């Protein structure tokens, strides 16, 4: 009996010691987790400080953005090692001219680029000598998952190339990924493009999907890691911006999206000279189905004297991509493309219901389907000319499609887009 009591007592002592031991580990574990969380927060704050340059003035936008007016010489572009001693070129040396530049052609759209504003303009403007930069917030970085991935496209991102090995592009593959409805031209040297793009606010099924309408200026080859692109247009991308607003964007890469390039001014590269337009800023107003139509005109062209690629929105010259950022595009582009792109991540094996363009098929025509009009390319003599040999690239025509046309007012144009999932696109 005494032996049993001693054994029970010994067991209790062991239990007590184990309890004390594990209780002692709890605050250590919590402290370690706290240290890890604190370290992560410090890293985020450190990078926020590098992203957000000291502002001469800050403007609160109705959509929740904060626009910082930063001295042009302090902008993120000059953090790039190739641009440390770069002298800003404040204006282009020439503007290419084309048949639609005199504004004497009638158009079916009621309003165009000159009517488009950004929401932050309601509360102020940036003074001369500064540029407007959309402030990066902690939540923006947290949504990206890491500082390194903030503002960047995923690696191995596919572009709509007619000779691409990407099954989602060439074979209409049904797998998750990028899907396109695009018009393309190649087989020559190109020094820019100009197009007028219809503005919409497509519905996005998941925050990590997007819908965009853009132009691509492409040099190099794909697949491979030497692809150069310059990209510009509008997009709806909740994961990047934290909302479903229609926003102006630019992008570039010189290694097929592997390590270079990012959206807007999230990393160094694009040199902004304009003090009125914020990259990533909300565009307003947008088109309504069977109602008023709005569009923007984007021109990207190469200064063949120093090689810089300039961008113009409507009548506003925004800035340029320095030639030193690129390999192939330091000379010229080999392909130019225009159109829509979505991410289809599927849900329960079904195609996404994320819309492209207006969310309606091109067959519905003006006022209902989204369009690109007055498509031109810049030739070796710095003239804007009509492209020849246009071809269509459509991933899944039952989900999103393209319909081409040509007339005196709109030149080369096309309607494009679609609803995503429907009875023919399950």
Supply the pLDDT for residue 154: 60
Concerning whether 231 is annotated as a catalytic residue, the answer is yes
Report the predicted TM-score, pTM, of the whole model to 2 decimal places: 0.84
Q: What is the pLDDT of residues 212-234, one digit of tens each?
A: 999 999 999 777 788 999 999 99
Supply the pLDDT for residue 100: 65
Concerning whether 148 is annotated as a catalytic residue, the answer is no
Q: What is the pLDDT of residues 131-170, one digit of tens each?
A: 999 999 888 888 877 666 676 676 545 556 544 433 333 3
Supply the pLDDT for residue 111: 53
Q: Mark the ranges of the chain whose per-residue pLDDT is less than 50.
A: 1-8, 11, 14, 16-36, 103-109, 156, 162-175
Supply the pLDDT for residue 105: 38
Supply the pLDDT for residue 2: 44
Supply the pLDDT for residue 321: 96
Check 138, 341, 346, 364 and give the catalytic one: 341
**Tokens linked to 154:** 């995923």
Q: How far is CA 405 from the centre of its chain?
A: 27
Supply the pLDDT for residue 192: 98
Supply the pLDDT for residue 3: 44
Check 8, 209, 231, 346 and give the catalytic one: 231
Supply the pLDDT for residue 421: 97
């Amino acid at each position: 009996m005494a032996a049993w009591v001693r054994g029970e007592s010994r067991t209790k002592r062991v239990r007590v010691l184990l309890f004390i031991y594990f209780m002692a580990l709890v605050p250590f574990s919590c402290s370690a987790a706290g240290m890890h969380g604190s370290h992560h927060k410090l890293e985020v704050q450190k990078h926020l400080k590098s992203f957000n340059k000291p502002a001469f003035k800050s403007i609160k936008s109705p959509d929740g953005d904060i626009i910082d007016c930063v001295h042009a010489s302090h902008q993120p572009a000059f953090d790039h090692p190739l641009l440390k001693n770069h002298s800003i070129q404040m204006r282009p040396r020439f503007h290419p001219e084309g048949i639609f530049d005199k504004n004497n052609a009638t158009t079916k759209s009621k309003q165009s680029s000159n009517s488009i504003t950004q929401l932050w303009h309601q509360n102020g403007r940036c003074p001369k000598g500064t540029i407007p930069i959309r402030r990066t917030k902690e939540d923006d970085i947290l949504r990206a998952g890491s500082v390194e991935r903030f503002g960047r496209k995923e690696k191995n991102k596919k572009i709509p190339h007619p000779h691409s090995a990407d099954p989602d592009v060439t074979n209409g593959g049904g797998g998750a990924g990028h899907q396109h409805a695009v018009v393309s031209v190649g087989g020559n040297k190109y020094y820019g493009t100009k197009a007028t793009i219809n503005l919409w606010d497509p519905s996005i099924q998941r925050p990590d999907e997007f819908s965009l309408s853009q132009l691509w200026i492409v040099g190099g080859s794909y697949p491979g890691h030497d692809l150069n692109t310059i990209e510009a247009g509008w997009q709806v991308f909740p994961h990047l911006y934290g909302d479903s607003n229609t926003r102006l964007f630019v992008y570039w890469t010189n290694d097929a999206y592997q390590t270079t390039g990012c959206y807007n001014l999230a990393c160094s590269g694009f040199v902004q000279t304009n003090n009125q337009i914020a990259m990533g800023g909300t565009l307003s107003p947008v088109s309504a189905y069977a109602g008023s139509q709005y569009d923007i005109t984007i021109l990207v062209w190469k200064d063949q004297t120093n090689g810089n690629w300039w961008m113009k929105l409507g009548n506003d010259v925004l800035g340029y991509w320095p030639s030193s950022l690129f390999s192939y595009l330091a000379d010229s582009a080999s392909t130019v493309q225009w159109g829509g792109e979505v991410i289809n991540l599927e849900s329960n094996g079904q195609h996404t219901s994320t819309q492209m363009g207006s969310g309606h098929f091109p067959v519905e025509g003006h006022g209902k389907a989204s369009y690109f009009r007055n498509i031109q390319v810049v030739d070796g003599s710095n003239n804007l000319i009509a492209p020849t040999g246009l071809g269509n690239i459509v991933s899944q025509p039952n989900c999103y499609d393209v319909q081409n046309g040509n007339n005196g007012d709109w030149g080369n144009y096309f309607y494009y887009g679609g609803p995503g999932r429907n009875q023919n696109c399950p």
